[in-house]
Structure 1
């Protein structure tokens, strides 16, 4: 009987594990059936047309428990709530693992990493042997930053509006090893790719080895001309690291199309994967020369898995990524991008046109922004506006403040409704009058 019980547990665990990679996924059993009739209705319509169909998106909104929260979450640029099917998957994986972690984690759930690697590679448009699964963009990009063999005096070009953890990493290398970390200053919004590319080009010297560029600037949501920067850098023999934390799962692109050498992202932002999941990609020819951030028995091997030697971590969270990809692909990457851009435009255009004292810090041109938009109000600091939105209206945003930016970042997601954004506009009107 004990052997039969163990076999049943094994089969149940295997079926649960493979579900996210088959027609038996939680998404296929629930959301896919709800969306299917609307997919037929939307046939032949462009992504921008679908973006305005509230009946379609009301079904998507039902797939998120965040849709029913009393607090209006408009800081999805920080971390996004996972869909209900993702929550259920993680809960199921946790229940399985907790029966005996040393068995169910290492011998059952761990077997799901390779199918997940394949699934992520298809989404990214890359070779699976170039994908490492980790916990967030900071871990992915710090692996590259600290893993590169740079010498004293070698130069790295970045930007004052890169993500703080990446700037800190480069500064630490500068302080400890004597590399030269140069940062460009941009006054966004800028609707001129050539101006941005020229700024990076003009900063290059014979000692420049790396350019670090953020795909979507987290402070204000500006979309950088990454492909053009990569093409220019490679003409000078310079490698490019791309921070894709706010682009992957939102913009409809393939990592392989960017032309970069290294790419890191957090999957718990716009992909809506479980919190604490991320991905790193690097060109296959670079893998052997990059040292792992965490030790590996063969640190110079040309196997992407050397970057996954993290010790014990949450396998249930990792495996929950599969259902997030199912949800994302069920909507469609281009539809998702256009919907989130439409939501941003809906409130931002109204606010800047009809609410006194309001100023935007983000371009409204489709080529330069999507979901993230920075807003400020004359006579108030960014923290004051952020506090007023929450304390008086229960709208959660985040204040973005440094030497170059002073604004509140507002970021809707696909579960955000137009009535939610009307609530935001009413709040901005009320604050402006007061």
Structure 2
């Protein structure tokens, strides 16, 4: 009886993130519902500055109080409920890996696919679950049937792994990779769209666009670029690593053909989780990055033949979706934009300080680049951490020399006040 009881408890533990017994429902649902009732009728923008409401959200994270983490653009911490879900599924897996992983947890992928598709606003049969944006986008880049001389347009401000993937296809297959270069911030969409259009030749087959430029947070006009590209018979790949789970949008609204993202950034899913989207009528022609017995299948699952994977991480995504949905996509976007503007507005006119990001809502959200005259980015990064325990990331690349600052929903105004004080003090010292 004791063994039977334990077995039933284990099966209950696998009921999944989308059941009544989910960890989120047990730990946070009541608190979130209570907080939401208090602000009923508030618009997302009105709620963005309501500290009482966001305190409830902040308490769900376990971030280290000894540092101020403002590098959420690299990877975001997961809230406690996601961490506990991963630990729970990991312990269960190790009680009998081949049984609990393949026969129990593996059954949770289809409900997860459906929930991701619901957030993405697309058909579940267009969603593949993988490990990060690099894997998703490399699947597309190496899966496309391109021939020598075919041209691809990207930019020098795209993510390095994507640039290197295209360069490698050039070396291996003779693809011509043309890169634009932009001086951000740019507050005119047509300037960006026109630059891509002018680069088109009769041999152009693909435009690769980054939804949010990871270096400085510029939001690119993906839909306008896609519409222009399609008018020329060109397909569009969207790298949305920093936008999914941050901006309130649906993938089909972008009108791109291919899309990849990481879920461990603003969705706060377990570290090492990602998602691939391919427009349904294009799945058949894309070769899987990893082998599949039916590489020309129309089944999106051909891109999930990873072999043994981390089922605990995969299933932990479900609790991250619960957490995200309980806040609301638009509320989350407006709060994080509010936090970015909170510190950036206070330093933008400080002598010696330069922002590398627009503060207009349509052109930026979470990420903002900042630099100080007479100071290298690496030196500013070091001083922020050594004197103020503020963790950011220095960027010296192409035409960019700044530190990238990225708050998240758990970031407090007190932390951002420290950031403002630090930037103001350092600027005064360096520009006497």
| TM range, smaller chain | over 0.9
Q: Is the 8 A contact 1:13 1:108 kept in 2?
A: no
The structural deviation recorded for 1:251 is 0.2
Find the aligned partners of 1:319 and 1:386 in 2 and give their Cα distance: 36
1:129 aligns with 2:138: no
Aligned position for 1:112: 108
For 1:288-303, list aligned pairs within 5 A: 288-303=284-299
SS of 1:218's equivalent? coil
The structural deviation recorded for 1:163 is 0.4
TM-score, reference length from structure 1: 0.97
Deviations 1:383-425 (A, max 9, x none): 1101111111111000112112111000000000100100111
SS of 1:18's equivalent? coil
SS of 1:88's equivalent? helix
For 1:11-50, list aligned pairs within 5 A: 11-50=8-47
Aligned position for 1:53: 50
Deviations 1:8-47 (A, max 9, x none): 5554344323331122221122222112222112111110
Aligned position for 1:228: 224
Aligned position for 1:64: 61
For 1:218-297, list aligned pairs within 5 A: 218-297=214-293
1:386 aligns with 2:385: no
SS of 1:212's equivalent? strand
Aligned position for 1:304: 300
Find the aligned partners of 2:401 and 2:239 in 1 and give their Cα distance: 22
Deviations 1:27-76 (A, max 9, x none): 1222221122221121111100000100000110000001x521110000
Deviations 1:195-220 (A, max 9, x none): 11111111111111000000000000
SS of 1:23's equivalent? coil
State the superposition RMSD in angstroms. 1.1
* 1:361 maps to which of 331, 356, 372: 356
Find the aligned partners of 1:82 and 1:400 in 2 and give their Cα distance: 25
Find the aligned partners of 2:412 and 2:20 in 1 and give their Cα distance: 29
Find the aligned partners of 1:80 and 1:124 in 2 and give their Cα distance: 20
Aligned position for 1:163: 159
Mean Cα displacement is larger for which, 412-421 or 297-306?
297-306
Find the aligned partners of 2:159 and 2:12 in 1 and give their Cα distance: 40
Runs of 4+ in 1 over 2 A off after TM superposition: 7-19
Q: Is the 8 A contact 2:217 2:365 kept in 1?
A: yes
Structure 2 spans left out of the alignment, 5+ residues: none
For 1:176-215, list aligned pairs within 5 A: 176-215=172-211
SS of 1:242's equivalent? strand
Mean Cα displacement is larger for which, 359-368 or 387-396?
387-396
SS of 2:284's equivalent? helix
* 2:76 maps to which of 72, 75, 80: 80
Aligned position for 1:98: 94
Deviations 1:346-374 (A, max 9, x none): 00010112x32110000000000000000
Find the aligned partners of 2:294 and 2:115 in 1 and give their Cα distance: 26
Aligned position for 2:416: 421
Q: Is the 8 A contact 2:294 2:302 kept in 1?
A: yes
SS of 2:14's equivalent? helix
Q: For the structure 1 residues 61 and 134, does the alpha-carbon distance in structure 2 shift closer, same or farther, using more than 3 Å as the test?
A: same
Find the aligned partners of 1:306 and 1:173 in 2 and give their Cα distance: 22
SS of 1:158's equivalent? strand
1:140 aligns with 2:136: yes
SS of 2:366's equivalent? coil
* 1:325 maps to which of 309, 321, 326: 321
Q: Is the 8 A contact 2:16 2:108 kept in 1?
A: no
Find the aligned partners of 1:58 and 1:146 in 2 and give their Cα distance: 44
Structure 1 spans left out of the alignment, 5+ residues: none
SS of 1:181's equivalent? strand
TM-score, reference length from structure 2: 0.97
For 1:397-412, list aligned pairs within 5 A: 397-412=392-407
1:89 aligns with 2:85: yes
Q: Is the 8 A contact 1:144 1:262 kept in 2?
A: yes
